[in-house]
Structure 1
Amino acid sequence: MARILSVWCRNWPITTWLRQQPPQSLRDSAPKGGASPPRSSPSGGGGPEGRRGPSPPVALLVSEGGTRRLAAVDDAAAALGLHIGQKAADAAALVPDLVTADHDPDGDRAALEILCDWCVRFSPAVAIDGLDGLFLDIEGVSHLWGGEAAMLDDLLDRLARWGAPARGAVADTPGAAWALARYAPDRTIAPPGGQAALLASLPVAALRLDEAAQAQLPRLGLFQTGQLLALPRAQLAKRFGLGTVLRIDQALGAAREALTFRRPATPWFDRLAFFEPISALSDLERVTADICVLLCARLEAEGQGARRFELVFHRLDGKDQPVRVGLSRPGRDAVRIAKLLKPKLDVVDPGFGIEVVTLWAADVEPLSTAQRSLDADGGVSLEEGLAPLVDRLINRLGEDRVWRADPHQSHVPERSVARRAPLDPLSEDTWDPDRPRPSRLLRRPEAIEVMAKLPDDPPVQFRWRGKSRRVRLAEGPERIGQEWWRKAFDEVGPGKVRDYYRVEDETGERFWIFRAGLYGDGEKAPKWWLHGLFG
């Protein structure tokens, strides 16, 4: 069963707003002459600068139907009786020194996405939970911190130091972790399979029920989750709907709950943390080799290989510096992967230092040991020998610039070639030996000037790129009609029919040229084009 860590940023709109304010702005923005005594900043928001001196209560406002209302309040404002949905005028009358600002839900969402991406140092699988929380799938990665408790403490302590305090919990299911993070003591960790006992004492709101069920249950004397768990399921479904039963099953693990992770979830993840931040290029190269050894050892133990690797350097200021490489064939050779990564380390900006390095693998698939041949030399296959070269070219030039031309079922030249990865299995389609094609097909046919006998003789001379060439030998024509269902020739020339010729000039160079259109068809005069070169 999976292990889920739930993070709840209790007052996220206030937290994000306070973190954007300079140290003195809150005290300067407080209305003068208020009767309320100075108060320290709330425990749920603000950075370290907000805790150094008195600061007024804060509320964020939103317009609803022409009326300004409170969309979020900090702890100090809530202690004075202000609440979400209250009119801004009434709030100002109750708390004269209230500091107000416009609520920015889009900014809150963007900040939560940044926090989600930052949490990748703890787990490669992180999902956004509503408007103020996160889910981390920590199965198989908590041991990198020395256990789930140490991992949870590290995450929440870092957020608190950065002025974004949060609560957290760990359980087998997202529903149970969500409930424990919000209603149980902070940093509760449910033992595997033991969330039911911890949920029993929590209020029914911990099950994330709909508003109608949450309002109806207390009127029937059902205040705690344990009371619901003791009722027959048929009565629960009949009285409160199938949604209530589903939420109970999701919390207990009887029903699955889908999470939308910011990146594909993968167990192939490793992490290195340092006692002192590193920044020198030589140190980055060394830890790159070390973490590749760790992850590749796990892949080899499980008989797996991966095609894509992402190495992320996590800086002290919370920013990430990713470096990515791909392989043409699944692999797990740590030395080879590190060699592909090292040329890209020059672009990594360590800032004030790197404190954590993570490496995760994607496109993982079974990989057996390479089968060597039975001859005396014991060599490997051609594909295995080319793989390191292909990988270097792809990672240096780009994946879209290294490819192999494979035949494709179409008589139109432009459509008869398909791009494939260099070491992909060969296509079942083959070239027609009776219709040879040039080794190099131009991306677009180029216009040429031709001298030829009418109506269908091959050219005796043509000019291409400013150079005149006399034809010594010629074969053809090979007539290729239009694929009328695709209109493939509309952009090439005015003709709808092509007559192709294979010609050789006096120097021995061979060309593939065609005439677009027919003489005497009543339309514009045909045009000649050069489409390819034979090797």
Structure 2
Amino acid sequence: MPRVVSIYLPDLAIERIRRADGEGRLSDDLPLVVIAKSGSKRWIAALDHVARQAGLHVGMPAAKAQAIIRDLQMIDADPNGDAVALQRIALWALTQYSPVVARDAPDGIVMDTEGADHLQGGEELMLSGIVNRFHGRGLTARVAIADSWGAAHALARASKRDTVLVPPGAIGRFVERLPISSLRLGPDVVGSLRVLGFQTIGELSATPRAPLALRFGPEIGRRLDQIYGHLPEPIEPTRPVELIEVSRAFAEPIGAPETIAKYVARLVAELCDALGKKGLGVRRADLIVHKVDNTMQAIRAGTAKPARDVAWLTKLFEDRIEKIEPGFGIERLSLAAIMSEPLAEAQQTSSLVDEEVVDIAPLIDIIGNRGQRVYRVAPVASDVPERSVRRIGVATATVGTSWTLHWPRPVRLLARPDLIEVIALLPDHPPVSFTWRGKRRRVRRADGPERIFGEWWTRSSEFDAVRDYFVIEDDDGERFWIFRSGDGIDAATGSHKWFMHGIFA
């Protein structure tokens, strides 16, 4: 069953203009509107939150808006600029979330994420991650996922929540109360249906189709079938101009796993040949399966570093061929290098002594394509332990900085320090005993304190902050890294509570 994500960008035009205003000509305090025109008519096509609070709305005549607000900032609409921005967003989503991404003009994109959500930690985490990443780039986004494009499109635009997750098979109870304008019908048709007394999709779907088709044609029935998922609505994936892609069409549909594997191997060889002519290696490749019932299925494979090895890339796809559901048959296979990087030919050198070269990239590829996130930990110049590490790609070049430590550090650092109960003599004595996660432990040996000061240049609230760390060992021989918040004397330096922060081997 397909799972479709609709990303709605309600303020794309306004936010694009704000981001492009590098010279600061536009004021953040004054209302900003985008004006569209047709002949002599001029009206508001988009507006910011300041303009909304002032009583303006989309569709209001520009002259009336100027009469209401004297210092109104007005920018002419640029549909081409908005389309280019939307295309860039779609291409970015193509590399991040799904092999099947398309523009849902004029204000959104749509993705088929069937089988791809596990790479993001599940559908719920994927949706919240999408919203957070857009917000981090200064873009407002509302996201919905459902079994059909129509339902996801409607819910993303009708809901006031940032994310809407429709469980598989539950479209009916989510869309029946939506207004009929959510069906992607023309404004004239929507107006006529409202005159007839229809307000919601549920009311319209409960009405016999024949009278509606006789008066309005087949469009209403088609949109209802699409929103409920009864009629497939294929998503034609967007592709960058420079994309390297190979495909194979079949006179007779195929469906046997061994036949699919045979043609996938041939496509991989063709793709590697095309990449070799440009001196590139693939980092992420998508296999698109076009079925005879006008539906598609996609399989994505990634590599830790640029690769052009036909045998290895073939294996990555063959390991996942069993997930392909041919249905009534496959009429075309397409293989595209979504992400590629320069890859130079390596010359084989001979040696009198056999040198064993260990390459863990194949292992990383296998783990990564099974949905696990593989990364390395790199040092960061910071005395605060939780800020002294960051995640980097497995194949990323070695960073220049390193940890400079005079005190031992635990092999496992907790993601967030745990509050513990401690018996200790202030200000500088180590704990005598502590209770962590319900278990009381007596301290046999201790070393410390190691004092770490706050980074006042990072946060002004840390100007007086202090932590005193101790390495302690309990009666069972287990060693822990704990700290006291504060110097044990001045309350301004911390709460004087104790925390567990790490575990030694």
TM-score under structure 2 length normalisation: 0.51
Structure 1 gap ranges (5+):
1-59, 69-96, 121-261
What residue in structure 2 maps to residue 355 of structure 1? 331
User: Any conservation in 2 of the 1:482–1:488 contact (CA below 8 Å)?
Assistant: no
What residue in structure 1 maps to residue 419 of structure 2? 447
Give secondary structure in 2 for the equivalent of 1:269: strand
Match of 1:515 among 484, 488, 502: 484
What residue in structure 1 maps to residue 371 of structure 2? 397
Distance (whole Å) between structure 1 residues aligned to residue 342 and residue 366 of structure 2: 23
Match of 2:342 among 349, 359, 366: 366
Deviates more, 1:425-434 or 1:276-285: 276-285
Q: In structure 2, what residue type is equivalent to 1:100?
A: F
CA offsets, 1:200-232, max 9 Å, x none? xxxxxxxxxxxxxxxxxxxxxxxxxxxxxxxxx
Match of 1:416 among 388, 408, 413: 388
Distance (whole Å) between structure 2 residues aligned to residue 348 and residue 408 of structure 1: 43
Change over 3 Å in CA distance of 1:434–1:270 after alignment to 2: same
Change over 3 Å in CA distance of 1:459–1:371 after alignment to 2: farther
Match of 1:526 among 475, 496, 501: 496
Q: Which portions of structure 1, spanning 4 or more consecutive aligned residues, are displaced by more than 6 angstroms?
A: none
User: Any conservation in 1 of the 2:381–2:403 contact (CA below 8 Å)?
Assistant: no
Distance (whole Å) between structure 2 residues aligned to residue 351 and residue 488 of structure 1: 61
User: Any conservation in 2 of the 1:61–1:103 contact (CA below 8 Å)?
Assistant: no
Shift of 1:309: 0.4
Query: Are 2:285 and 1:309 equivalent residues in the alignment?
Result: yes
Distance (whole Å) between structure 1 residues aligned to residue 248 and residue 261 of structure 2: 13
Change over 3 Å in CA distance of 1:489–1:323 after alignment to 2: farther
Distance (whole Å) between structure 2 residues aligned to residue 435 and residue 306 of structure 1: 43
Distance (whole Å) between structure 2 residues aligned to residue 449 and residue 457 of structure 1: 15
Query: Are 2:453 and 1:481 equivalent residues in the alignment?
Result: yes
CA offsets, 1:87-134, max 9 Å, x none? xxxxxxxxxx98535988x979x99xx98843x5xxxxxxxxxxxxxx
Q: In structure 2, what residue type is equivalent to 1:367?
A: L
User: Any conservation in 2 of the 1:321–1:348 contact (CA below 8 Å)?
Assistant: yes
CA offsets, 1:216-250, max 9 Å, x none? xxxxxxxxxxxxxxxxxxxxxxxxxxxxxxxxxxx
Distance (whole Å) between structure 1 residues aligned to residue 410 and residue 346 of structure 2: 35
Match of 1:333 among 294, 309, 315: 309
Shift of 1:414: 1.5
Give secondary structure in 2 for the equivalent of 1:361: strand
Change over 3 Å in CA distance of 1:489–1:372 after alignment to 2: farther
Shift of 1:508: 4.0
Deviates more, 1:312-321 or 1:280-289: 280-289
Give secondary structure in 1 for the equivalent of 2:290: strand
Shift of 1:307: 0.3
User: Any conservation in 1 of the 2:243–2:338 contact (CA below 8 Å)?
Assistant: no
Q: CA RMSD in A?
A: 3.6
Distance (whole Å) between structure 1 residues aligned to residue 347 and residue 318 of structure 2: 29
Distance (whole Å) between structure 1 residues aligned to residue 249 and residue 424 of structure 2: 75
CA offsets, 1:435-468, max 9 Å, x none? 4432211111122232322211122332333444
Distance (whole Å) between structure 2 residues aligned to residue 444 and residue 325 of structure 1: 33
User: Any conservation in 2 of the 1:516–1:526 contact (CA below 8 Å)?
Assistant: yes
CA offsets, 1:342-385, max 9 Å, x none? 23223222110001101000222221234567644554644xx1
Identical positions, percent: 41
Give secondary structure in 1 for the equivalent of 2:319: helix
Q: In structure 2, what residue type is equivalent to 1:365?
A: E
Change over 3 Å in CA distance of 1:466–1:67 after alignment to 2: closer
Structure 2 gap ranges (5+):
1-184, 194-212
Q: In structure 1, what residue type is equivalent to 2:496?
A: P
Match of 1:504 among 461, 473, 481: 473
User: Any conservation in 2 of the 1:502–1:510 contact (CA below 8 Å)?
Assistant: yes
Shift of 1:397: 3.0
User: Any conservation in 2 of the 1:61–1:101 contact (CA below 8 Å)?
Assistant: no
TM-score under structure 1 length normalisation: 0.48
Find the structure with the greater CA-based Rg: 1
User: Any conservation in 1 of the 2:442–2:474 contact (CA below 8 Å)?
Assistant: yes
User: Any conservation in 2 of the 1:500–1:512 contact (CA below 8 Å)?
Assistant: yes
The size of the alignment, in residue pairs, is 294
User: Any conservation in 2 of the 1:62–1:102 contact (CA below 8 Å)?
Assistant: no
Query: Are 2:430 and 1:458 equivalent residues in the alignment?
Result: yes
Give secondary structure in 1 for the equivalent of 2:416: strand
Shift of 1:386: 0.5
Change over 3 Å in CA distance of 1:525–1:310 after alignment to 2: closer
What residue in structure 2 maps to residue 100 of structure 1? 216
Distance (whole Å) between structure 1 residues aligned to residue 335 and residue 192 of structure 2: 51
